[in-house]
Structure 1
Amino acid sequence: MEKNKHMRSRVLYVAITVGMVVIGLASRRFPVLGKYPGDALWTMMVFFGLAAVMPALSIARLTIGALVISYAVEFSQLYQAPWINAVRAHPVGHLVLGSTFNWPDLVAYTAGGLMAMLLMTVLRRYK
């Protein structure tokens, strides 16, 4: 029974992750609100990706994990070696790693983590 519960959860979390990717790419293509909604959605995607891989994790651990990954990627942008800049120059590399460190991105990631936490709380409450 417990295994089926986690399998259903994984399917839902993968679907939400894919949805976050689609909405995030759309927010970059049509930046009506600027780049920050895409940053918040990126952290939400990481959150639900982690939930798909480890569905039994608490909401707090998922939030911390998503924020640690998001912040680490942002701070990694301070490192500007030629090899990593070549990776960042590729469209996929740019989407995953970004290119330029920006303090306000950390605020957007935090907002995304909080929104994901709220969404997960609602999902788990109404399951």
Structure 2
Amino acid sequence: METGYQFSMKRNRWIYAAFTLLIIGLGLGSRAFSSVLPDAVNPYLGDSLWAAMIFTGCGFLFQKLKTMMTGIISLIFCFIIEISQLYHAEWIDRIRDTSLGGLVLGYGFLWSDIGAYTVGITACAAIELLVLEIKKRRNM
């Protein structure tokens, strides 16, 4: 009997593209509406959504990759980006000074971002595993 993390599937690229775009919208919205978000959530929501977008983007690119591996690759990518924020050369800081560069590369290393990325990707992996379990039970 297979356990949830061993399920293999072929992801629907249209669904993952749609979720990626939805998460981008939510992430941008979290910045626009930060004044109405609770103080306990506000500093972390954008980073969690950014990591969730990386997970869905990875799911889009790698249709057959198992959920746990998708999560691991997404976490490694997010951690590398965060660690890269410790590096401040003129050329990369000029990229970070642009809107898109700042959104993608960030500005400064924060341990709390590592936690937020972990929460965002864990939530996406849990949702995907739940959907796979539901599909499995329907096909029994």
* TM-score for both structures, normalised by structure 1: 0.90
- Aligned residue number for residue 88 of structure 1: 96
- Aligned residue number for residue 114 of structure 2: 106
Aligned-residue Cα RMSD (Å) equals 1.4
Query: Which of 66, 70, 77 matches 2:78?
Result: 70
Query: Which of 20, 38, 44 matches 2:52?
Result: 44
- Does residue 57 (structure 1) correspond to residue 60 (structure 2)? The answer is no
Larger Rg: 2
CA shift for structure 1 position 124? 2.4
CA shift for structure 1 position 28? 1.4
- Aligned residue number for residue 120 of structure 1: 128
Letter of the 1:63 counterpart = G
- Does residue 21 (structure 1) correspond to residue 24 (structure 2)? The answer is yes
- Aligned residue number for residue 5 of structure 2: none
> CA offsets, 1:17-67, max 9 Å, x none?
111100011111112232311101111100010111111000000100110
Consecutive unaligned residues in structure 1, runs of 5 or more: none
In the aligned structure 2, how far is the partner of 1:47 from the partner of 1:124?
16
In the aligned structure 2, how far is the partner of 1:14 from the partner of 1:122?
19
1:35 partner SS: helix
From the two aligned structures, give the one with the greater helix fraction.
1
- Does residue 97 (structure 1) correspond to residue 105 (structure 2)? The answer is yes
* TM-score for both structures, normalised by structure 2: 0.82
- Does residue 30 (structure 1) correspond to residue 33 (structure 2)? The answer is yes
Letter of the 1:81 counterpart = A
Letter of the 2:117 counterpart = Y
In the aligned structure 1, how far is the partner of 2:14 from the partner of 2:131?
13
**Between the two proteins, what is the percent identity of the paired residues?**
35
1:78 partner SS: coil
Alignment length (residue pairs) = 122
CA shift for structure 1 position 125? 2.9
Runs of 4+ in 1 over 2 A off after TM superposition: 122-127
CA shift for structure 1 position 123? 2.7
